Structure 1
Amino acid sequence: MYLDITIHDIRNANNVASMYADLPVELAEGGLKAYVEKLRDNIGRSREILRNAATIRRALEESGSLAAVNLDAVTREEIGNYPGTSIRYIDPGVQDEVKGRLFTRFERGKASGRGEGLGLLIVRTLVECYGGRVWIEDRVPGHLEEGASFRFTLRQAG
């Protein structure tokens, strides 16, 4: 219930902020217009985060069967949702010398661009809190170009 209320209230605040941001986009020119458009884009990202939080909440509450997902296809589709944004997606897997470091604080491997290097640390922390472990393997052993497999285990509920 707490998460539902929080999501609801943040969505309302985002809606109001978005309405206020739309007006200056129409009126502004030059550099100011670019800043206002960035403001509006970031409000959109905030909405996406809220959608993800709501999806995770529903997934935890609903029972259902799991299905395999082609993450390459999902990633490419998501990149298409952000035209004009510079996103570099390389699909030849994860180098062996980087695999062990990716789950540490501020580590981004060989990636360039934005990011804090905290995402996989958060994954590792959550998995370990539930008595599990997380690691990276070549999707096809010995064939880096075939992609990476991010795996985890969790302790069985008692």
Structure 2
Amino acid sequence: MPETPLIPAAVLENLAEQLYEKRKSASIEVENTVKQYADAGEHEKIGGLINVLISDFTNYPEPNHRKGGLIGLAAATVGLSTQATPYLEKIVPPVLSCITDQDSRVRFYACEALYHISKVVRGDLFVFAPQIDEELDRLSMDSDPNVQSTARLLNQLVKDIIAESEK
């Protein structure tokens, strides 16, 4: 019997689409799939799905693939919810590497993905604090105002998480 793919082909196609609506729809599918895997304790499948998002999307030369990979990694983190922490070592580095992408839309998506990941894992993201701080400094001077704006939102969230952890 053939093995069922971790992510349906149609979802993978939509993650790579140019239209945001299609990528967003695909990310909801990724989130739901990861939730199902997490509820069933299928950690190997979760790891495999995350690997596909990284190797076939965030590391891909085409910007729409990278954007799809970023929205997919954020969706996977949301799907994992309280079980996300063990996967951060896989999820966060490719997001951080996309923050320095030459394409401003990819930088925007990376910043947005890191925002959503931060909202889910809160203080567990502190192991990446030095890299995040460095990237936030870089993003505050980005040539794209949308990237700067998203970086400000991310920076404020990070400050809120730090303040809440000090209570």
- Pick the TM interval, shorter chain: 0.3 to 0.5
Q: Which has the larger radius of gyration?
A: 1
Normalization by structure 1: what TM-score? 0.32
Normalization by structure 2: what TM-score? 0.31
More helix per residue:
2
